[in-house]
Homo-oligomer: A and B are copies of this chain.
Amino acid sequence: VPGLVITVTCLNPALDITHEVAGVDWSGVNRPGQVRVRPGGKGLNVARTLLAIGAQARVLGLAGGGTGAEVTSALAGLGVPATFTPVGGETRRTFAVVDTRDGATALFNEPGPEVTADEYAAFLVTYEKALADSAAVVLSGSLPRGLPAGAYAELVAAAAAAGVPAVLDTHGEALLAGAAAGPAIVKPNVAELEALTGRAIAAADGPDLRAVSDAAAQLRLSGPDAVVVSLGPAGLWAATAEGTWRAVPPGEVFSNPTGAGDAVTAGLAHGLVLGQPWPERLRTAAALGTAAAAAPVAGEFSPGDYARVLAEVTVNRAEETP
């Protein structure tokens, strides 16, 4: 492994704006009682979690326009080292309206900029330079418009050529192509795994573990060294070259699934870099996911929650088909 830094890509970052309104008038004028603005995007959540557990992390990505400048300055304010290759388009906003009376949330996700081939080429130069001192790369989130579905596969291959292992957390075609390029770990959730393999996994009383096992094994055969499936409150399922494990966290407090998956990815990347055995790696990842799920803001968690949950996670070997 060439270096110590975990490089996290965030190719389509966002400015997340939340308005809290007591009793929304959906066809009138509202004055939000509370406005919160923070940098968003799965890669940023991963990087923040890595920094919180003492890892060295940096963000590489693409950003543009006034919103891109806001994301950049907000990350600096949070102490997250980030280098964004400039793009001509405008970095996207996500806009959430939370009705504090009934808890209903409406989310409006802008598409983000269309990235040109030249802009992506400029990003690649930065990325390949960063590989020189990277212990691992985390490739996280959707690809922006304009990039081919094979972009993550190219980033996985470039990392492999530099001797740097990759952790991939995306979905659809980008996951399919990226997995085939042989990353160290891919981390789908249940919905992503269902979409990819065509198998029905989710059920009313939790995921069908036989279907999880089959789908994870199928995905692993396509290229990655390991497949770790995040099962929400039901924990993690890991299909690896050393065997298959399931990690089960305590309790069921699961208010923030987005942040939870990103915290799991951070835990897996950190364990990979430290060379932790799989059971320890999964314990850390499951505890981070559970602590993050209990936090109101993606990318954040309470260290107390993390320490408590870490002691309570159970990790057991599983049969390939339970």
Contacts and interface: CB of A to CB of B under 8 A. Distances in A.
Interface of A: 17, 19, 21, 24-32, 35, 37, 66-67, 69-70, 73-74, 90, 93, 95, 97, 104-111
A104 B31 contact: no
B26 A108 contact: no
A108 B66 contact: no
Contacts of A32: 108-111
Copies in the complex: 2
A231 B180 CA distance: 67
B73 A27 contact: no
B106 A26 contact: yes
A28 B106 contact: yes
A74 B29 CA distance: 24
A161 to B, nearest CB: 36
Contacts of A108: 19, 21, 30-32, 97
A69 B20 CA distance: 24
Contacts of A29: 107, 109
A272 to B, nearest CB: 31
B110 A30 contact: no
Contacts of A28: 106-107
A104 B26 contact: yes
B27 A104 contact: yes
A93 B17 contact: yes
A28 B109 CA distance: 11
